[in-house]
């Protein structure tokens, strides 16, 4: 008789803790998603209403999303961001995939020194080296453009090399060995055997690079702030409200538009993305 | 540098292969890392304005930094505040949410996405959104607080509340750390909990003796990378000041806005930016950079000793 009672009690406690757990979860979820909801709602208000204390739009001003392209050089901002993020990502892949592969799989004298240098370069605040780098770009007359943020990726990006190396380490060595026995050259091994198997890792590195460039504020502030034509969207958004007073509904509409590409990419590549984050911190 | 060791079954790879694969990255390290690091130290002993060549002035920049600079200690103090408050608050929140999520069985993917989503929001967009939501006059947050009978503070417009407001933003975007904790928690072997239960361990004992040791490497990683990120805290504070002050300015003009309200958000890296790129005192800004390097390097050494992924041994 005692066993079933204990069991029922345990089950009752389970249900109670399930309820408690979900009350906490739902409350937190409202707090975490609330800001996004409020931003979207405000972006659909008339500007007069956005200046009053209110949450639900009285009239749904979908036209804000048209106005925004007319009043703000938004198309150019987006174009600059897409240009910056796409080229930076492509250049990073060309230079960093081979470097990461060699660091993960080839033993040679000096490998440890290079690896440690990459870790330090990845973790050190960029402000430490910013001044001499800026001086170099100004001597090349490339300040005032986004090129100082794009071109260095042709010579490898430390974080991407680190992430890709971590991924290459997880691929069993036997595949490459088998390909070599079949007469594959070293380039063939990388391009036909390893790269296809490392596709999730390469995708994660590419997404991180794209996001970081898309979201970058410090870089454009340093190199492009005095040339409005070169502004990417994150920088433009940061200066917009300062320049245009209290136009909150339009500001929120731009904010929503800046978020959309990132969220869309995330939903298409969620698994790859989470794997990439985990790889930098836990595994290895 | 690139002499090969012939190791057992693996074929010998030609040197030119290694050089071709790694050459660009090595060039990148030299041009964008080693050279600028050395050059920063050199510039820090000079007066340099980008127009005329650097002029050697000995230790004068350091003397000014430690004894005369009117704002550097305000800025360093603000950065220290973010290191001491923002980092632990973010880690504890992420750990709490990860503990909650690891127990959830149904729709676990959905809940993870919900708590991760804010971390995806571009930081500029996140700051602009928060300055609006917390704006004292008409912002939804103070409106909601009012319905509970609470008079909300001035948030980003009050020097006493501006830093805590950014901590709230930091909590909102804790998803990246949470994902790492969650992966760490899911990796804890189930048998260890069962063994602890058989030994009669209470749930807090399981947490203290089983979970904590198992995730301590992840915790160290989160603390040290968090500190290094906080040392360079720039974008969120700079954008909050720009948006909350309602003023626009680039270059020299931006210098007047950074720190609003009342220098409460002026961080060390922003002060470096103001001196270097607002006033074009590149020699003095280099001295600030060298000091930042020394402090960051201390944390880097800890990180590289304690985090396995950052040690080179496993490349075999």
* Same domain flag for A133 and A220: yes
Tell me whether the omega of the peptide bond preceding residue B263 falls within 30 degrees of 0, making it cis.
no
Q: Structure tokens of B212?
A: 């904590």
* Residue B55, CB-side half-sphere exposure with 13 Å CA sphere: 6
* Same domain flag for A35 and A142: no
* Same domain flag for A24 and A153: no
246-275 of A, contacting B, C-beta below 8 A:
246, 248, 251-252, 255, 258-259, 262-263, 266, 270, 274
Residue range B98-107: mean pLDDT, rounded: 85
* Same domain flag for A29 and A104: no
- Find, in chain A, the residue whose alpha carbon is nearest to that of B281: A131
Domain ranges of chain B: 71-316
B71-316 classified as CATH 1.10.8.590: no
Contact A108 B5 (CB under 8 A): yes
* Same domain flag for A124 and A27: no
* Same domain flag for A168 and A32: no
A65 domain residue, yes or no = no
Residues from chain B contacting residue A104 (CB–CB below 8 Å): 315
A69 domain residue, yes or no = no
Q: Is B152 helix (H, G, I), strand (E, B) or coil?
A: coil
Q: How far apart are CA A184 and CA B10, in angstroms?
A: 13
Residues 6+ apart with CB under 8 A from A183: none
Number of independent structural domains in chain A: 2
A64 domain residue, yes or no = no
Domain containing A24: what range?
Answer: 2-43
A49 domain residue, yes or no = no
Contact B232 A125 (CB under 8 A): yes
* Same domain flag for A95 and A26: no
Contact A54 B143 (CB under 8 A): yes
Q: Residue B314 in contact with residue B82, Cβ under 8 Å?
A: no
Kindly state whether A36 is in contact with chain B, defined as any CB-CB distance less than 8 angstroms: yes
Q: Chain A closest CA to B262's CA: distance in Å?
A: 17
Residue range B247-270: mean pLDDT, rounded: 81
* Same domain flag for A163 and A254: yes
What is the full per-residue pLDDT of chain A (284 aa) written as tens digits? 444 555 555 566 678 888 888 899 999 999 999 999 999 999 999 888 887 878 888 889 899 999 889 888 999 999 999 999 999 999 999 999 999 999 988 888 888 899 999 999 998 999 999 999 999 999 999 999 999 999 999 999 999 999 899 888 888 888 888 888 888 888 888 888 888 888 888 998 999 899 999 999 999 999 998 899 999 999 999 888 766 666 888 889 999 999 998 888 888 887 777 777 777 665 43
* ipTM over 0.90 threshold: no
Cα radius of gyration rounded to whole Å, chain B: 24
**H helix runs in A124-191, sequence order:** 130-139, 147-150, 158-169, 173-181, 186-188
Q: Chain B closest CA to A193's CA: distance in Å?
A: 16
Residues 6+ apart with CB under 8 A from A241: A247, A248, A251, B128, B242, B243, B246
Stated pTM of the model: 0.89
A211 domain residue, yes or no = yes
* Residue A265: per-residue pLDDT: 87
* Same domain flag for A136 and A269: yes
How close are the terminal C-alpha atoms of chain A, in Å? 52
Residues from chain A contacting residue B243 (CB–CB below 8 Å): 238, 241-242
Instruction: Say if residue B308's pLDDT is above 90.
Output: no
Contact B3 A108 (CB under 8 A): yes
Q: How far apart are CA A69 and CA A73, in angstroms?
A: 7
Contact B140 A55 (CB under 8 A): yes
Q: How far apart are CA B314 and CA B211, in angstroms?
A: 26
Q: Chain A closest CA to B311's CA: distance in Å?
A: 8
Q: Is A274 helix (H, G, I), strand (E, B) or coil?
A: helix
């Amino acid at each position: 008789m005692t066993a079933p009672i204990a069991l029922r009690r345990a089950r009752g406690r389970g249900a109670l803790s399930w309820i408690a757990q979900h009350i906490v979860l739902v409350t937190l979820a409202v707090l975490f998603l609330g800001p996004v909801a409020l931003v979207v709602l405000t972006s659909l208000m008339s500007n007069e209403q956005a200046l009053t204390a209110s949450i639900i739009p009285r009239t749904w001003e979908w036209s804000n999303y048209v106005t925004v392209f007319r009043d703000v050089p938004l198309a150019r901002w987006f174009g600059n961001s897409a240009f910056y993020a796409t080229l930076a990502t492509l250049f990073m892949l060309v230079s960093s995939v081979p470097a990461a592969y060699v660091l993960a799989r080839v033993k040679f004298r000096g490998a440890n020194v290079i690896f440690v240098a990459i870790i330090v370069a990845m973790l050190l605040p960029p402000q430490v080296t910013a001044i001499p780098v800026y001086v170099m770009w100004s001597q090349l007359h490339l300040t005032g453009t986004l090129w100082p943020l794009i071109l260095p990726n042709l010579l490898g990006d430390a974080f991407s090399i680190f992430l890709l190396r971590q991924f290459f380490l997880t691929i069993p060595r036997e595949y490459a060995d088998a390909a070599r026995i079949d007469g594959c050259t070293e380039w063939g091994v990388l391009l036909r055997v390893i790269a296809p198997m490392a596709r999730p890792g390469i995708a994660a590195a590419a997404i991180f690079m794209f996001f970081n460039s898309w979201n970058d504020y410090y870089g454009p502030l340093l190199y492009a702030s005095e040339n409005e034509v070169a502004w990417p969207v994150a920088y433009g958004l940061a200066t917009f409200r300062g320049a245009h007073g209290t136009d909150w509904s339009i500001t929120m509409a731009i904010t929503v538009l800046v978020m959309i590409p990132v969220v869309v990419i995330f939903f298409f590549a969620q698994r790859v993305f989470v794997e990439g984050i985990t790889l930098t911190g836990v595994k290895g | 540098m690139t002499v090969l060791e012939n190791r057992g079954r693996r074929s010998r790879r030609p040197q030119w292969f290694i050089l071709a694969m790694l050459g660009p990255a090595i060039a990148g390290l030299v041009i964008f890392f080693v050279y600028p690091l050395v050059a920063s130290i050199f510039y820090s002993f000079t007066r340099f304005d980008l127009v005329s060549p650097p002029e050697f002035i000995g230790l004068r920049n350091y003397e000014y930094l430690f004894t005369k600079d009117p704002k550097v200690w305000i800025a360093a103090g603000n950065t220290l505040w973010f290191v001491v408050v923002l980092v632990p608050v973010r880690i504890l929140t992420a750990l709490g949410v990860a503990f909650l999520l690891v127990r959830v069985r149904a729709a676990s993917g959905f809940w993870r996405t919900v708590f991760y989503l804010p971390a995806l929001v571009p930081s500029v967009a996140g700051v602009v959104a928060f300055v609006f939501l917390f704006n004292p006059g008409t912002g939804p947050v103070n409106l909601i607080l009012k319905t509970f009978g609470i008079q909300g503070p001035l948030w980003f417009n009050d020097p006493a509340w501006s830093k805590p407001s950014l901590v709230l933003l930091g909590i909102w975007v804790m998803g990246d750390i949470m994902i790492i904790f969650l992966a760490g928690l899911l990796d804890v072997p189930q048998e260890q909990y069962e063994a602890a239960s058989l030994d009669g361990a209470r749930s807090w004992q399981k947490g203290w003796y089983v979970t904590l040791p198992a995730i301590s490497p992840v915790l160290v990683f989160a603390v040290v990378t968090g500190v290094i990120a906080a040392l360079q805290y720039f974008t969120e504070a700079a954008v909050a000041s720009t948006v909350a002050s309602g003023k626009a300015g680039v270059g020299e003009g931006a210098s007047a806005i950074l720190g609003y309200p009342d220098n409460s958000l002026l961080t060390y890296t922003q002060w470096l930016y103001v001196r270097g790129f607002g006033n074009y005192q590149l020699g003095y800004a280099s001295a600030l950079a060298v000091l930042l390097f020394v402090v960051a390097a201390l944390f880097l050494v800890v990180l590289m000793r304690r985090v396995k992924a950052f040690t080179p041994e496993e490349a075999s």
